């Protein structure tokens, strides 16, 4: 489906594409993400071009030839949009095939419990509203991207409900997440009120929503995945809406056989982002991971994976000096500072002092980066 924004007088000619029509472009342009915006004058073209950086195609059908936009007759526009629709449909088909190939391969490396959960999550995520029960920290990027593809994340464990609702339903100057194709993942819904969960679930299921501070109705093209840590916190209303579109991911302690493979997948993801990371893991380390009595918390396991990615040799040496693997919480505290410094130093060697890039690859904000650079004497001032 093409998201098309066009002048009202072209409504009849473009009717088969179900366009959103406008009298004044500035009143509608921020309400959704547009594939194509049709304009007829320089003023509207200037506003529409702000969205070209997001991949929006701006087309002028007016009598005056305009720069930096596609100028064409309405009849040519109709043909072009038809071709564009076919291209997007073919891209979706190819993406679906590639996704199926990944889903056929990756679960083979996992134990039956994890493989079943993996397939359930892939299946339920195609529904308008779905539910996943998973321990804190499980839905990391390594599992979200391969299964869900294009997605947005809103974490109720990090931001307030008010801020989350503004992002989900949009404002005058911010496109609502419900208007974007793909999956909207609402993390840690245990911290969210039943009223908010109900509001989002109904909008997703009905395929319509009302943007914030607006009376207009918009099409909801996003599929919503609700994540809860504890199944007891899931409202009865949500269970009725999602029906069979639900998945339960087993706790880390129940899938020890899969942990080495999950470790490899996770470290591979880190390596792609960092361009360089430790990806060689000894059999001894993998054996230790399987034998460790994990507390059951996925976030703790992934923190351990990050430390492995920094450098197994250092960690291996420290572990060899001990008769048994220490409690993960104590061990993490013991080496976190040294590992953090090495990781930041390694990132600086690759990207220099480009703070924007450092924040991106390290996954921290500017304020935290400045604090860490000063703390570890990496800011060049000491």
Average pLDDT over residues 110-121: 77
Pair 245, 258 in one domain: no
Is 49 inside any structural domain? yes
Average pLDDT for the chain: 78
Which residues constitute the domain of residue 190? 110-250
One domain for residues 123 and 215: yes
**Cα distance between residue 189 and residue 185, in whole Å:** 10
Kindly indicate the confidence band of residue 333, based on its pLDDT and cuts at 50, 70 and 90.
low
- Out of 92-101, 103-112, 242-251, 336-345, pick the least confident: 103-112
Tokens representing 262?
């999950």
Q: Does residue 262 sit in the same domain as residue 318?
A: yes
* Domain annotation covers residue 105: no
| 105 pLDDT above the threshold of 50 | no
Environment class of 185 (CB within 10 Å of its CB; exposed 0-12, middle 13-18, buried 19+) = buried
Does one domain contain both 185 and 230?
Answer: yes
Given this model, what pLDDT does residue 338 score? 66
Residue 104: predicted pLDDT: 45
* Assigned domain for 89 exists: no
pLDDT for residue 367 = 78
Domain boundary among 250, 285, 308: 250
Tell which wins on pLDDT, 141 or 163: 163
Residues 120 and 72 in one domain: no
The alpha carbon of 255 is separated from its chain's Cα centroid by a whole number of angstroms, namely 25
pLDDT-derived band at 328 (thresholds 50, 70, 90) equals low
Q: Would you list the DSSP string of 242-262? A: HTT-EEEPPPGGG-GGGHHHH
Asked if 24 and 41 sit in the same domain, the reply is: yes
Between 381 and 264, name the one with better pLDDT. 264
| Averaged pLDDT for residues 367-378 | 83
Position 356 pLDDT exceeds 70: yes
**What's the pLDDT at 199?**
92
Mean pLDDT, residues 140-168:
79
347 domain-assigned: yes
Higher pLDDT, 20 or 332: 20
Which of 42, 58, 80 is the endpoint of a domain?
80
Q: Please tell me the predicted confidence (pLDDT) of residue 38.
A: 92
| Same-domain pairing of 259 and 368 | yes
Please tell me which residue, 204 or 276, carries the higher pLDDT value: 204
What band does 168 get if pLDDT is binned at 50, 70 and 90? very high
- Cβ 335 vs Cβ 315: under 8 Å: yes
| Residue 341 covered by a domain | yes
Percent residues over pLDDT 90 in the chain: 14
DSSP state of 14: T
Does residue 4 surpass a pLDDT of 60? yes
Q: Look at the chain and report how many structural domains it folds into.
A: 3
Lowest mean pLDDT among 208-217, 276-285, 322-331: 322-331
**334 shares a domain with 283:** yes
pLDDT: is 12 or 365 the higher one?
A: 12
16, 282, 305, 326, 362 from 312: Cα distances, Å: 59, 8, 10, 16, 19
Q: Are residues 239 and 356 in the same domain?
A: no
pLDDT of residue 269: 60
Measured CA to CA, the distance from residue 160 to residue 192 in angstroms comes to: 9
Q: Per the domain annotation, does 235 fall within a domain?
A: yes
Residue 351 pLDDT more than 70? yes
For residue 195, give the CATH number of its domain: 3.40.50.300
103 assigned to some structural domain: no
Phi, psi of 223, rounded to the nearest 5 degrees: -95, 140
Determine, yes or no, domain membership for 100.
no
Summarize pLDDT for 64-85 with one digit per residue, the tens.
899 889 999 988 988 888 888 8
Least confident of 104-118, 135-149, 288-302, 314-328: 314-328
Instruction: Tell me the pLDDT tens digit for each residue of 89-103.
Output: 777 776 665 655 554
Torsions phi, psi for 38 (to 5 deg): -100, 130
Look at residues 250, 266, 292 and tell me which one is the last residue of a structural domain.
Answer: 250
What is the reported pLDDT for 275?
Answer: 47
357 and 369 share one domain: yes
Report the alpha-carbon distance of residue 363 to residue 296 in Å, rounded: 25
Q: Do both 155 and 280 map to the same domain?
A: no
> Which tens digits make up the pLDDT trace of 187-236?
899 999 999 999 999 998 888 888 877 778 888 888 999 999 899 999 99
In the predicted structure, residue 136 carries a pLDDT above the cut 70: no
Note whether 117 and 239 are same-domain residues. yes
């Amino acid at each position: 489906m093409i998201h098309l924004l066009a002048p009202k007088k072209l409504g009849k000619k473009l009717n088969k594409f179900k366009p959103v029509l406008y009298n004044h472009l500035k009143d509608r342009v921020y309400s959704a993400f547009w594939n194509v915006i049709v304009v007829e004058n320089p003023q509207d073209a200037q506003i529409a071009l702000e969205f070209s950086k997001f991949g929006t195609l701006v087309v002028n059908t007016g009598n005056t030839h305009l720069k930096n936009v596609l100028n064409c007759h309405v009849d040519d526009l109709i043909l072009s949009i038809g071709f564009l629709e076919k291209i997007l449909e073919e891209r979706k088909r190819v993406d679906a095939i590639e996704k199926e190939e990944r889903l056929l391969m990756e679960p083979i490396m996992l134990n039956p419990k994890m493989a079943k959960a993996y397939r359930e999550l892939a299946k339920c995520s195609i529904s308008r509203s779905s539910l996943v029960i998973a321990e804190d920290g499980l839905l990391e990027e390594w599992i979200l991207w391969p299964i869900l593809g294009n997605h947005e994340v809103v974490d109720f464990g990090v931001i307030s409900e008010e801020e989350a609702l503004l992002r989900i339903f949009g404002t005058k100057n911010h496109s609502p997440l419900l208007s974007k194709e793909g999956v909207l993942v609402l993390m840690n819904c245990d911290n969210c009120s039943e009223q908010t969960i109900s509001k989002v679930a109904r909008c997703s299921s009905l395929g319509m929503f009302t943007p914030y501070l607006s009376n207009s109705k918009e099409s909801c093209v996003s599929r919503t995945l609700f994540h809860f840590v504890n199944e007891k916190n899931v409202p009865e209303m949500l269970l009725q809406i999602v029906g069979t579109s639900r998945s339960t991911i087993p706790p880390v302690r129940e899938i020890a056989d899969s942990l080495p493979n999950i470790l490899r997948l996770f470290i591979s993801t880190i390596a792609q982002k960092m361009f360089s990371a430790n990806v060689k893991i000894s059999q001894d380390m993998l054996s230790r991971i399987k034998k460790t009595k994990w507390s059951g918390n996925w976030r703790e396991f992934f923190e351990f994976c990050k430390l492995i990615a920094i450098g197994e040799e250092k960690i291996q040496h420290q572990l060899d000096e001990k008769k048994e693997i220490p409690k993960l919480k104590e061990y993490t505290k013991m080496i976190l500072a040294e590992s953090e410094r090495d990781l930041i130093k390694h990132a600086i060697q690759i990207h220099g002092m480009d703070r924007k890039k450092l924040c991106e690859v390290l996954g921290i904000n500017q304020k935290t980066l400045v604090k860490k650079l000063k703390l570890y004497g990496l800011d060049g001032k000491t």
